[in-house]
Amino acid sequence: MSQVPLDSSHLDYPTVSPLVAAILRCAGGYEAFSVNIPALLRQAFDEVIDAPRTGRFTLSETEKTEKTYVGTKVEILLRNYLAVPKGATLDMLVDGVEIDIKNTTARDWMLPREVVGHPALLVRSSEKTALCDVGIVICRPGYLRLSTNQDGKGQLSASQHINIWWILRQHPYPPNFFEVLSVTERNRIMAAGGGTARIAALFEAVQSKPISRHQVTALAQQQDPLKRIRRNGGARDILAPKGIAILWGQRDRALIEKLNLGPVTADEFISFMPETADDIALLRDANHID
């Protein structure tokens, strides 16, 4: 789903509209935002799960303190992507306006006392559905259920979501394949054999969907996953005779665009089994399939 802006008659429209425009300008436009923010979320989850070093594959396997750190990771990556500084009080400064960044993997957001009355960039994502929401809201006291606890945090409840300008709404982001595959498929991939065989099994099971470098590295059990993917002994040798190509967002961008497989970022791979003669010829010419 694309943007869901506030109605121009909404109380917050004059404040939120220029903030959204400024954020999208920093991001390089809406199209760039809609591609790079989902990839950023995948990166944040994968870096916290840290599968190559920990042997874990899902967020549910991480410690409680690590789950909390996902929000900090999203904040850091998002601010760096937009190339904006921290504010004096809140998480980032955009066109002279301080904006807080709040991430959740639950239903609603918990907002600290210092953000009341100020704008917040809200990020929500689900590893189970691989869908995310990103929006801007002015955290007016009337929108919040304020806590009586000492921390004074407020919660933006579902009934107040009508006051959010959704920049992305129920937007797909690269899934964690261990969350979306069936148990049978997961077990089959893990039982395929060594790192190369596991990667081949993964790309055969999950086609036409980007898979992050972190996840490939986790299956490869080495820091150079390309060695397990490329020809001359890699997963491509296993899949090419089956007519399945593995493409890399960094090296094969032009080919990915010709095949209409995007968006695929430079840190993602995608497998594809062509059906048309033209697509087969393209991949054969590039030595991706036999």
Cα distance from N-terminal residue to C-terminal residue, the chain: 38
* Main-chain dihedrals φ then ψ at residue 166, nearest 5 degrees: -80, 115
pLDDT at 148: 55
Q: Which two tokens stand for residue 117?
A: 């009355």
Its pTM surpasses 0.85: no
Cβ-based burial of 148 (10 A; exposed 0-12, middle 13-18, buried ≥19): exposed
Residues in the chain: 290
Cβ-based burial of 109 (10 A; exposed 0-12, middle 13-18, buried ≥19): buried
Q: Show pLDDT as tens, one digit a residue, over the chain (290 residues).
A: 678 999 999 999 999 999 999 999 999 999 999 999 999 999 999 889 887 778 788 898 899 888 889 999 999 999 999 999 999 999 999 999 999 999 999 888 988 889 999 999 999 999 989 999 999 999 999 998 876 555 667 888 888 999 999 999 999 998 888 888 888 888 888 888 888 899 999 999 999 988 888 788 877 776 666 778 878 888 999 999 999 999 999 999 999 999 999 788 888 899 999 999 999 999 999 899 98
Give the closest residue to 264 by CA, choosing from 251, 245, 283.
Answer: 251
Report which residue type is found at 44. A
Give all strands (DSSP E) within the chain, no chain letters.
92-94, 97-104, 109-111, 119-126, 131-138, 144-146, 154-156, 165-172, 211-212, 245-248, 268-272
